[in-house]
Amino acid sequence: MKKPWSGRFTEETSRIVEHYTESISYDRRLWRYDIEGSIAHARMLGRQGIIPEADAGLIVQGLQDIARDIEEGAFTFREDLEDVHMNIEAALIERIGEPGERLHTARSRNDQVALDLRLYLRDEVQTIRSLLRTVEGALLERSEEHLGVIMPGYTHSQRAQPVLLSHHLMAYAQMLERDRARFRDLLGRINVLPLGSCALAGTSLPIDRGYVAELLGFGGVSENSMDSVADRDFAVEFLSCAAILMMHISRIAEEMVRWSSEEFRFVELRDAFTTGSSIMPQKKNPDVAELMRGKTGRVYGSLMSLLTTMKGLPLTYNRDMQEDKEPVFDTADTVRNTLTLLAELIGGVRFNAAMMESGSDAGYATATDIAEYFVRKGVPFRRAHEITGRIVRSCIDGKKALRDLTLQEYRSFSDAADSDIFEVLDAAASVRMKRSYGGTAPEAVRGQIERFKKAIGGD
């Protein structure tokens, strides 16, 4: 088949160039969106009298037949036709003849590919949001199931203060819900019709872009034809949202890796989500969680790839922009697959409550509670902090726990100490007292869980 630009050229395209510039090897996955957009475009052309309505009907039927063949695996994509757009158009012309040559009226591959990518991302974002909700549901379920379990909370990877395991899990649920909200906000910027912008300047033909937008379910029509074909900020934003999401997933994965180690023994991962060693028979490796952590870098790379591609491009379309698809496709696949696995991983992990609770009192984790005890007795916080620091130092030197000190010993540090100081020394008491909104007390966490349920239930 002749190239669509062959009228201008006297020499055929080199086969090496064809291989180097083709995108059909990866953009074929856009076929469904390309056909969907072409059907809407053809119907608009017929409705507006730009092409005969009978031709529009033939085009629509021909495209539907091609879609069926692709679904059934009876369609051959050709590299010499470069991309998904030309493959489908060439097949259409071969099937219905001259009416097929009218389909590309009042559009360019520039606005056509922008349309296809927006349609594709619209579906991917909705799928990702649905998967996120599933993961959030798994976190909610495990939080409710383990509401009474106390564990050490950490700062700087050092034991800091006791918290509820449910509080820890809900921290990740909150992060993922913000990710879901980011994708929701992105949908509004994706769901704008670029078709009808043509190569860059629009068209002199009497098209109806609003009608096409209606057929395709777009919420609006792009305002500037040059902007429509020249930018990929919606794709960059998708990659950005995905990168932030993967950052959160990577942190969950890292904790699963650490917590499943012999040094922690806070969790045991299902055998189905681990692997063994080819040389060490005793090993049970958290490979799935490690790969989730590793694939985060892959998504970061996709974001940087597209940002770098776009950063120096003059208006409007440049062939560099063909490089937008592989990072987007790879990221969409990575995020979908990771979220699917993450929901199963969280749902199947076994928490070792005894190990978590045994570490909750260690490391003088209730020292802050002693300082706040003195604050309630009227001691200024900075002085209370200094007093408590001296108490801890004394315990370290004497190889004692905070609960081992006598009232007389506490009073040697401050006359404000009384017998009720022993009520704040254990992890359970520490957790119960953290009743501030958003805190780790059981009633506070229950409230958080209920509010979270309502929040995601109303979206």
Q: How far is C-alpha 69 from the geometric centre of its chain's CA atoms?
A: 33
Which pLDDT band, with edges at 50, 70 and 90, does 1 fall under? low
What one-letter code names the amino acid at 270? Answer: R
Domain boundary assignment for the chain: 6-105, 110-206+224-358, 362-446
Write phi, then psi, for 399 (nearest 5 degrees): 55, 50
The verdict on whether omega for the bond into residue 388 sits within 30 degrees of 0, i.e. cis, is no
Number of helices (H), then strands (E), in the chain:
19, 6
Name the DSSP letter for residue 136. H
Mean pLDDT of the 275-303 span: 94
Token code pair at residue 216: 């395709």
E-only strand ranges, 45-91: none
pLDDT at residue 16, as a whole number: 84
- Right CATH number for 6-105 from 1.10.275.10, 1.10.1040.10, 3.40.50.1980, 3.40.190.10? 1.10.275.10
Name the DSSP letter for residue 164. E
pLDDT at residue 4, as a whole number: 67
Alpha helices, DSSP H only, in 311-366?
325-348, 353-358
DSSP-derived 3-state class of residue 278 = coil
Q: Which of 406, 372, 401 is nearest to 387 (CA)?
A: 372
What one-letter code names the amino acid at 29? Answer: R
What's the rounded Cα separation, in Å, for the pair 371 and 388? Answer: 6
**Least trusted range by pLDDT, from 8-22, 28-42, 312-326, 417-431:** 8-22
Per-residue pLDDT at 310 exceeds 80: yes
Instruction: Assign a CATH topology to domain 362-446.
Output: Ribonucleotide Reductase Protein R1; domain 1 (1.10.40)
What's the rounded Cα separation, in Å, for the pair 232 and 375? Answer: 55
pLDDT at residue 459, as a whole number: 74
**Which amino acids are annotated catalytic?**
156, 277
Token code pair at residue 48: 């507006």
**Least trusted range by pLDDT, from 84-98, 222-236, 263-277, 333-347:** 263-277
Mean pLDDT of the 324-345 span: 98
Per-residue pLDDT at 20 exceeds 90: no
What one-letter code names the amino acid at 212? Answer: V
Mean pLDDT of the 294-316 span: 97
Mean pLDDT of the 11-40 span: 90
Tell me the pLDDT tens digit for each residue of 376-426: 999 999 999 999 999 999 999 999 999 999 999 999 999 999 999 999 999
Instruction: Assign a CATH topology to domain 110-206+224-358.
Output: Fumarase C; Chain A, domain 2 (1.20.200)
Which pLDDT band, with edges at 50, 70 and 90, does 458 fall under? confident
Place of tokens 């990518």: 117
Which pLDDT band, with edges at 50, 70 and 90, does 448 fall under? very high
What's the rounded Cα separation, in Å, for the pair 296 and 337? Answer: 12
pLDDT at residue 17, as a whole number: 82
CA trace torsion 100, 101, 102, 108 (10° rounding): 110
Which pLDDT band, with edges at 50, 70 and 90, does 5 fall under? low
pLDDT at residue 457, as a whole number: 84
Per-residue pLDDT at 288 exceeds 80: yes
pLDDT at residue 289, as a whole number: 96
pTM of the entire structure? 0.93
State the average pLDDT for the chain: 95
Tell me the pLDDT tens digit for each residue of 424-445: 999 999 999 999 999 999 999 9
% of the chain surpassing 70 pLDDT = 97
Q: How far is C-alpha 359 from the geometric centre of its chain's CA atoms?
A: 33
Per-residue pLDDT at 11 exceeds 80: no
pLDDT at residue 14, as a whole number: 77
Mean pLDDT of the 199-226 span: 98
CA angle centred on 60, ends 55 and 64, rounded to 5°? 145
% of the chain surpassing 90 pLDDT = 91
Name the DSSP letter for residue 221. E
Which pLDDT band, with edges at 50, 70 and 90, does 19 fall under? confident
**Least trusted range by pLDDT, from 216-220, 250-254, 302-306, 359-363:** 359-363
Place of tokens 């606005």: 111
Per-residue pLDDT at 281 exceeds 90: no
What's the rounded Cα separation, in Å, for the pair 247 and 156? Answer: 18
CA angle centred on 152, ends 167 and 445, rounded to 5°? 15
| Residues 260/269, Cβ–Cβ less than 8 Å | yes
Tell me the pLDDT tens digit for each residue of 116-165: 999 999 999 999 999 999 999 999 999 999 999 999 999 999 999 999 99
Q: Which of 176, 188, 173 is nearest to 335 (CA)?
A: 176
